[in-house]
Amino acid sequence: MWLCTNCRHLEIDDKKPGHCPVCGAPSEKIIQYENPKIKGTKTLKNLQEGFAAESKAHLRDLAFAFKADQEGLPQIAGLFRAIAESEAVHAFHHLRLLGVIADTQENLQAAFERENYARDAYPEFIKDANDEGNSAVATVFGYHRDVERGHARLYEKALDRMLDPQGVEYYVCEVCGYVSVGVLPDECPICGAPKDKFKRIE
């Protein structure tokens, strides 16, 4: 088993990978990993697969809840949201048991590296979407690329002010995911959504 010290990705394989498949870090950033609390590799692999499946189920159920609300079915939307929360609990347990959650400084650094990799992947996604005539998808990918740049900057700034006792309010655009720090914008600078499309996060 191998742990990327850049982004905390766990690769369950006998052979050391040439680079991290998540953040692209070179092999020298990848170290041999042992989880003292988990015996064998099958259980770790099942935890990893379970984490991915439960995380996807969480988001899928939130999307289903959104659609049920649009269709005027609040009782069904509530059911989807409740099960989505349950799936999030399961995903958290899988991730915790994998043993890849580090201290906050390492977690911020790992999140920063993952955002950089995600940002760098989008140009190819945009090209493929345009090449195949999917201009609407290319536009969404473009929004996401621009937002990922902002995420990386936010993590980088947070690393510098970890011990700052003053809290910060964040506003997230529910159309494209743009994050505004401390200020509710009149309009999203990425997608142009109005201020009522922003959600306040503390």
Same domain? For 172 and 148 the reply is no
Q: What confidence tens digit (pLDDT) does each residue in 13-24 have?
A: 889 999 999 888
Same domain? For 92 and 7 the reply is yes
Confidence of residue 165 (pLDDT cuts 50, 70, 90): low
Q: What confidence tens digit (pLDDT) does each residue in 33-61 have?
A: 888 889 888 999 999 999 999 999 999 99
Q: What confidence tens digit (pLDDT) does each residue in 79-110 have?
A: 999 999 999 999 999 999 999 899 999 999 99
- Computed over every residue of the chain, the mean pLDDT equals 92
Nearest to 66 by CA among 200, 179, 174, 157: 174
Distance (Å, whole) CA 90 – CA 113: 25
Same domain? For 127 and 57 the reply is no
Residue 48 pLDDT: 92
Q: Which long-range contacts (CB under 8 A, 24 or more apart) does 10-16 make?
A: 10/44, 10/48, 10/98, 10/100, 12/41, 12/44, 12/45, 12/48
**CATH for 57:** 1.20.1260.10
Q: What confidence tens digit (pLDDT) does each residue in 106-158 have?
A: 999 999 888 888 888 899 999 999 999 999 999 999 999 999 989 988 998 88
Nearest to 82 by CA among 67, 64, 96, 100: 64
Show which of 68, 98, 128 is a domain's final residue. 98
Same domain? For 78 and 147 the reply is no
**Whole-structure pTM over 0.75, yes or no?**
yes
Determine phi and psi for 201, rounding to 5 degrees.
Answer: -125, 130
Residue 69 pLDDT: 96
Q: What is the total count of domains within the chain?
A: 3
Residue 202 has pLDDT above 90, yes or no: no
Q: Classify 99 in phi/psi space as left (phi over 0), alpha (psi -120 to 50) or beta.
A: left
> Which amino acid is present at 126?
I
Task: Find the domain containing 36 and state its range.
Answer: 2-98
